[in-house]
Amino acid sequence: MTSASNPTLRKKRAPAHREKIDKVCVICSKPFQVFYSFRNAKVCSRACSSVLHRKTLLIKKCPICEKEYGVLPSNEKMTCSARCGAMMRSGEGHHRWIKDREKVCLQCGEKYDGAAGWKRSKRFCGVPCYNLYTKINGWAAAVPIGTVTQDPDGYKRIKISRNKWKPEHVFIVEKAIGRVLTRAEVVHHRNGNHGDNRIENLQVVSRQQHMRIHHEAEQIGLKVMAGEIEIVKSIVHPLEGVEV
């Protein structure tokens, strides 16, 4: 027996309020279906409904970066971002933001806006300068080539390559004479000041000569302290005048 011959077996049609109708979301333009009872629906989901029924945003101006931002009337947010809020709570406020914003690239020396994007915590104006600096100096936190530091004993060192440092007085002398010093040669400071690396104050001597200079200078100092020698003019080192 078929449903055509038996009217009682025929599928009943759903009531009008249970029929689904096709609609298009006014927010995301996505097609969706709703029951006839919800024929006035305009959106397809709760997310689109929150956008549709969102309250009018209030436009505020951030007191730190002076950027305009929108918030709901019930929101008591005073700054545009968490970063600006931290600056406000620190007590420095706009002055600190200006200080962070005005930055100079460590590689090219050009000024850039340090308060935008990935540049906030960086020291370079862009990725090319960052890559070039790390290629030359080794890594981003490394000091640039040519940096001079001073040891506790007074000697200065200079960075000459990516991972190499050299005593500044040796570097200056080798650059002046156009060759590398041998193992038997040392650089002597004529006035005894290890930090005075002027070329006229540097003298290339052998290790034996260097020891003799300091020995004689020590003997002269002891005699002066004992009152055996009275200084009437400047004392000249025995090797004074040796050309570099």
Q: Per residue in 108-156, pLDDT tens?
A: 888 877 765 555 456 788 788 888 887 777 775 677 888 898 888 889 9
Comparing 37-41, 85-89, 143-147, 232-236, the range with the smallest average pLDDT is 232-236
CA distances from 180 to 61, 185, 203 (A): 63, 10, 14
Residues 62, 88, single domain; the answer is yes
> What's the number of domains the chain is made of?
3
Question: How many Å is the Cα radius of gyration of the chain?
Answer: 41
The Cα 174–Cα 182 span in angstroms is 10
DSSP code for 142:
S
Q: Give a yes or no: residue 241 inside a domain.
A: no
The Cα 214–Cα 209 span in angstroms is 9
CA angle 50, 51, 52 (to 5 degrees): 90
User: Which residues lie across from 189 on neighbouring strands?
Assistant: 202
Residues 43, 74, single domain; the answer is no
Name the packing angle between helices 82-90 and 94-101 (round to 10°): 120
How far the first Cα of the chain sits from its last, in Å, is 122
188-225 tens-digit pLDDT: 998 888 889 999 999 999 999 989 988 888 887 777 77
Domain boundary (77, 108, 137) is at 137
Percent of the chain with pLDDT over 70: 76
Name the pTM for this structure: 0.44
Comparing 21-25, 194-198, 238-242, the range with the smallest average pLDDT is 238-242
Residues 170, 118, single domain; the answer is no
Residue 242: pLDDT band with limits 50, 70, 90 = very low
Q: Give a yes or no: residue 92 inside a domain.
A: yes
Residues 113, 99, single domain; the answer is yes
Residues 99, 42, single domain; the answer is no
Percent of the chain with pLDDT over 90: 16
CA angle 121, 126, 127 (to 5 degrees): 100
What is the domain range of residue 212? Answer: 148-226
The Cα 190–Cα 93 span in angstroms is 54
Q: Which two structure tokens, joined as six digits, stand for 123?
A: 């020291």
Q: Is the pLDDT of residue 17 over 70?
A: no
Which region, left, alpha or beta, applies to residue 83 given φ > 0 means left and ψ of -120 to 50 means alpha? alpha
Q: Read off the pLDDT of each residue in 76-95 and give the average, rounded to a whole number.
A: 78
